[in-house]
Amino acid sequence: MNNFEINDNKEIKEFLNGLFTEEIYDSFYLFSLKLDSAVSYDIDGKINKEFYNEEEFNELSEKEYICWRDIKKTILGFMKDGKLPVKMKLILMFNKDNVNLLIEMNNIPIHPDNVRALFMNVIYSDNRLSITTGTSLNVFTMDKTLEELWDKTVKKYYI
């Protein structure tokens, strides 16, 4: 787990603009969002499959959470006139295909099925932005290779 702080208003706006308008985070899943703007929103990123027709459901059958690209414009609409929110806690998950690829490309000694999720927590409050990485495994291991690689990946490509 690593924590990255951004305190410069210009850098905060650039990061949030990229989050909501660029494609860099599009393959992540939305795990959850707590957003305080004109009103407060609390969003669980789990897909409500009962909402979809059979054809749409079949496309979603392997997904448990909604892709960031499919929800980010809706969330951006919750922020009035592009103003920064009062507070925001956004938890994104690296998608499973990318987790598998990360493990394979780096010869990490863990089976992909044992990785529950690789998280990126984005917290904005009091004109400060904090990005924290997280790794959740289904098994106990003393090996921190995946955690360290995830920290480096987030720093290199997403911050």
Write down the pLDDT at residue 61: 61
Is the pLDDT reported for residue 46 higher than 90? yes
* pLDDT tens, residue by residue, 84-105: 899 999 999 999 999 999 999 9
**In terms of residue numbers, what domain contains 21?**
3-157
Among candidate residues 112, 56, 118, the one with its CA nearest the CA of residue 91:
118
Closest CA to 41 of 94, 86, 93, 92: 86
- Cβ-based burial of 43 (10 A; exposed 0-12, middle 13-18, buried ≥19): middle
Q: How many domains does the chain have?
A: 1
**Residue 146 pLDDT more than 80?**
yes
Under 8 Å CB-to-CB from 148, ≥6 apart: which residues?
none
| Distance of alpha carbon 26 from alpha carbon 158, whole angstroms | 11
Mean pLDDT value of segment 114-130:
95
